[in-house]
Structure 1
Amino acid sequence: MQTLNSLQEDTAKLESLYGNRGNQQGQRLQSLEDKLSSQRDMIATQQRQIDHNARELLEAGNRTRTDWLLAEAEYLLRIANQRLLIEKDIGGALSALKSADEVLTESDDIGVYPVRQQLAREILALKGISSVDRTGLYLTLEAAIDGVHQLTDQALISEQAPGFVGSALSEDGSGPGGEPSVLFKAWEKFKSTLMQVVVVRRMDESVKPLLSPDQSAYARLNLQLMLEEAEMAVLRGNQPLYKRALAKANAAVEDWYDGSNPRVNALAKTLTELSSRNVAPDLPDISKSLDLLKERLAGRSGEGNGGDDS
């Protein structure tokens, strides 16, 4: 009987022991399940955060690309205004405006519609202006300068030419000191040579005295400086300076040189044709599109700041 009681006690102890272990294992299993559930929730939360961050990055990337494109368009519009106002380069300004419009099209920003609308007007206005061929004008003036240096000394026959000192000579060719001048000696030598040929001249025309080679070179230098002044005016788009320089050159050729000389005649025709050219046509105002784009950029900046605050 005592043995039976002892066995029952041992059995109760074993059941209690294994029961406690079972409870502990159950508790551990429940704890593991709770941790697993918590980790699942954490993973789900992290996934949602990742998705949210990905969307934010995508949106931020889109905004950055659009803003970059708008900044590029603004730069092109600045270039267009500079080329038109400072360089008077109509073709370059038109090309920059067209490039800016293409960039704005690529931006897909509906807010730039007013900018593109104004750009269309400005592009049309520039297309309506006759472009100035500054390179062609400059090269023509360079050719005219070469033509000036090809004029012979004999073509310069007017006492109105620069450096003429005929009036300072006495009737015998002597200068103020009574000694024959170098010019008089050269003139006498020239007359001696000239007497060996036959010259037919209308007697009712006034005879214009021929000048010395030094005076001829001085006259050519003066003409060269006038034409170089016209070249400068072409490059700067300065119409008053251009007209003034060519007017002086035309007057000099007419006053100083014999118009019957073929080279003089060709030079005079070239200068007359150049005088009719306009190197500074009236230019339209193309700054409005730039102002509108600046307003759009400022508006986008305000939108971005508002989004950050929220």
Structure 2
Amino acid sequence: MSETVVRASEADEPLKELKQKIDDEQQQENTKKPSQGLAAFSLLLIILLIAAMAAAVYWLWPQWQSLQQQSAQMQQLQQRVSAQVQQQQNTEQQLLNTLSQQQSAKLGQLELQLAQTEQRLSLALQQALTEQQVQIQALRQQVQTKDSAPPRHWLLAETDYLLQLAAKKVWLEHDFTTAISLLNTAQEKLIKIDDPSLLLVRQAINQDIEQLRQLPTIDLSEVHLQLQQARKLTAQLALKQQHNNAMPQLTKPEGGVKQWRQTLHYYWQQAWSNLFTVRSAVPEDYFSLSKEQQLMLRSSLSQHLLLAELAALEQNETVYLAALEQAISQLGRYFDPANDEVSQLQSQLQQLATVNISKPELKALSSVSQMQQYQQQLEESSL
């Protein structure tokens, strides 16, 4: 029995070992299934990550390249700007250097001109002092010689001075009244001397006085004052205003159908007058003056009067008459003739246009040359 049990146990051992192997294989398969799932899931995750990285690289690579290009362009632009700034700084520096050189050159020229001017002034001052000293010495000699001379020589010297002064009044200032007064004073000096040899000089003085009295006297100061007052009135003068003269009003005919011609004519004229106004043309219709134009007209009239005033002071008759003629024409054309100030100013300008302001034809005073001849004869006789 025991042997059979032992044999039976020996026969079961292979079965146990086979069963144990089957169990082990099943356990290994059970353990392998979850690990294979994890491996597949990990492989899928890796593939997804690689695909995501490839997509990211595909999408971000052009942007990265564009960023690189933009950065390169920005660097180039910065380099250009820095180069332009440097060039501008160099140009400004050159301009500053040029200006400083020009200013230094101008300062040098000015200093040279100033030195030359100072030298010329010093020379002119020295010459003036020398001439003044010579004149003072000559005057001293004349005073010394005339202190011992008789009073007759003093009267002759005074007469000569009065004649020279009268000639200056005539030729330089056109003051004939003062010149006549000076000639009369010189005549009185010669009367005090009572020398028959001065008869020719006295006759020449009388001729000069008669010549100056025959000259027309022109009061240029009065003309100047009148024109100046007229210029002040230009800002207050009334200008012509444009008026629309209405057409005469037509009376509506009465009579109804019997006077149908008059009624038709009335309505025709009424409709026509609403469209157009027919009247005679007047000078005011050809201009419509604004405030600026009115100011320009007043200013133009004032300028014509000012030109006439200056021409009167210079005794330029042509310019004087032309300026007054333009002022009178402008006054009559653009200003209201019914206004009292306008009419008075127009008559005043017409009266001023008749004034003769031309320079008279003057002749040299014969008394001056006659007195010089007499003094020359005295010097020759004294020698």
Unaligned runs of 5+ in 1: 1-56, 158-201
78, 91, 94: which one pairs with 2:177? 91
Q: In the alignment, residue 296 of structure 1 is paired with which amino acid?
A: Y
> Which residue does the alignment assign to 2:214?
128
Contact 2:328 2:346 in 1 (8 A): yes
Contact 1:155/1:264, CA 8 A, preserved across alignment: no
1:133 and 1:244, CA in 2 relative to 1: closer, same or farther beyond 3 A? Answer: same
Deviation, 1:88, is 2.3
Per-residue CA deviations over 1:16-64 (Å, capped at 9, x if unaligned) read: xxxxxxxxxxxxxxxxxxxxxxxxxxxxxxxxxxxxxxxxx999531xx
Give 3-state SS (helix, strand or coil) of 1:242's partner: helix
Of the three residues 136, 150, 154, the one matched with 1:68 is 154
Matched residue, 1:274:
352
In structure 2, the residue matched to 1:18 is: none
2:281 counterpart (205, 209, 215): 205
Query: How is 1:214-225 mapped onto 2 (pairs within 5 angstroms)?
Result: 214-225=292-303
Q: Is the 8 A contact 1:101 1:116 kept in 2?
A: yes
- Alpha-carbon distance in 2 for matches of 1:231, 1:119: 35
User: Which consecutive unaligned segments of at least 5 residues does structure 2 have?
Assistant: 1-144, 243-277
Cα distance in structure 1, aligned partners of 2:379 and 2:157: 12
**Deviation at residue 116 of structure 1 after TM alignment:** 1.0
Summarize deviations over 1:263-308 as a string: whole Å, max 9, x none: 222111111000000123534424211111111111222233x1xx
Alignment of 1:93-242 (within 5 A): 93-152=179-238, 154-155=239-240, 203-206=279-282, 207-242=285-320
Q: Which residue matches 2:371? A: 293
User: Do 1:88 and 1:237's aligned partners in 2 also have CA atoms closer than 8 Å?
Assistant: no
Name the residue aligned to 1:79. 165
Task: Report SS of the residue matched to 1:61.
Answer: coil
State the number of aligned residues. Answer: 203
Deviations 1:244-281 (A, max 9, x none): 22222222223332333332221111110000001235
RMSD after superposition: 2.8
Mapped to 2, the partners of 1:59 and 1:265 lie a distance apart of 68
**Alpha-carbon distance in structure 2 between the residues aligned to 1:301 and 1:113:** 18
Alpha-carbon contact 1:87-1:236 (below 8 Å) kept: no
**1:68, CA displacement in angstroms?**
2.7
Q: CA deviation at 1:113?
A: 1.2
Letter in 2 for 1:277: V
Task: Report the CA distance between 1:128 and its aligned residue.
Answer: 2.2
Which structure: larger Rg? 2
Separation (CA, whole Å) in 1 of partners of 2:198 and 2:377: 11
Give the 3 Å change call, closer, same or farther, for CA 273–149 of structure 1 in structure 2.
same
Over 3 Å counting, the alpha-carbon distance change for 1:83 and 1:216 in structure 2 is: farther
Q: Deviations over 1:70-94 (max 9, x none)?
A: 2222222222222222322222222
Name the structure, 1 or 2, with higher relative contact order (CA <8 Å, separation 6+).
Answer: 1
State how far apart, in whole Å, the 2-side matches of 1:83 and 1:59 are.
30
Q: Describe the SS at the equivalent of 2:234.
A: helix
Q: 1:226 to 1:87 in 2, by over 3 A?
A: farther
Task: Kindly provide the CA deviation profile for residues 111-145 of structure 1, in whole angstroms up to 9, marking residues without a partner as x.
Answer: 32111101111211222233111222111111211
Amino acid at match of 1:121: Q
TM-score normalised by L of structure 2 = 0.48
Show the counterpart of 1:41. none
The TM-score normalised by the length of structure 1 is: 0.58
Query: Within 2, Cα distance between the matches of 1:79 and 1:272?
Result: 38
